[in-house]
Amino acid sequence: MSTHAKRERLLLADLLESTGPDARTLCEGWTTRDLAAHVVVRERRPDAAGGVLVKPLAARLERVMAEFAAKPYEELIQLIRTGPPRFSPFALKQIDELANSVEFYVHTEDVRRAQPDWTPRPLDPVFQDALWARLERMARLTGRGAPTGLVLRRPDGRTVVAHRGTPVVTVTGEPSELLMFAFGRQRAADVELEGDKDAVATVSDTKELGL
């Protein structure tokens, strides 16, 4: 596993373990047990994981998720720590880096930021740049549900267009915070929104924004 993905994986596993199975997350309706089951199913049951995006598979995904969520919580944590099986695409280093560094960062923050005593976690510039590179590739996908034009901007001025349209809302923040915003965690992201007042309010409240 790559450095960033491996680090975020282990951080997520440790955090899930320390918070316990019944803690809140930023994923609406999910406890930490549900989130842990999601991570395991995503890596180990591709026949069901496609239900996230493919509606005909949604019922199958729900059943498989319930099966995994019923397993001992400690078993789910161990499955996350040990990583995907050899036959999984996620076992390939390049895919692990491309998919899991972002996935595990966001889910770690889903747990951290749902707790009342959470504090910001500083990230090193190399990881921030890696997240920005991923965000540049994913921006159109994550911004497809935006009700207005949407531009994501780093503090140094670099930008990426997430959705074309007018009026335009510009969201400024570190790449890690822009990711949280783009993945639908608007209220938990440390960002600044600029643009038409009504457009800003609409973007802030759009549940369809993100993956």
Taking the C-alpha atoms of residue 79 and residue 120, their distance in angstroms, rounded to an integer, is: 27
Ranges 15-24, 133-142, 198-207, most confident: 15-24
Q: Quick one: pLDDT at residue 78?
A: 97
In a domain, 121, yes or no: no
The answer as to whether 149 is a domain residue is yes
Domain count, the chain: 2
In a domain, 123, yes or no: no
Residue 104 resides in a domain: yes
Query: Domain range holding 86?
Result: 3-112
Let me know whether 149 and 57 are in one domain. no
Determine how many CB atoms are found less than 10 A away from the CB of residue 45. 18
Of 56-70, 110-124, 134-148, 149-163, give the lowest mean pLDDT range: 56-70
Quick one: pLDDT band at residue 126, thresholds 50, 70, 90?
very high
Count the Cβ atoms, other than its own, within 10 Å of residue 109. 26
Same domain, 35 and 79: yes
Give residue 52's pLDDT: 61
List the structure tokens of 95.
């895919």
Residue 195 makes CB contacts below 8 A (sequence gap 6+) with 148, 167, 168, 169, 170
For the cut 50, the answer to whether the pLDDT of residue 1 exceeds it is no
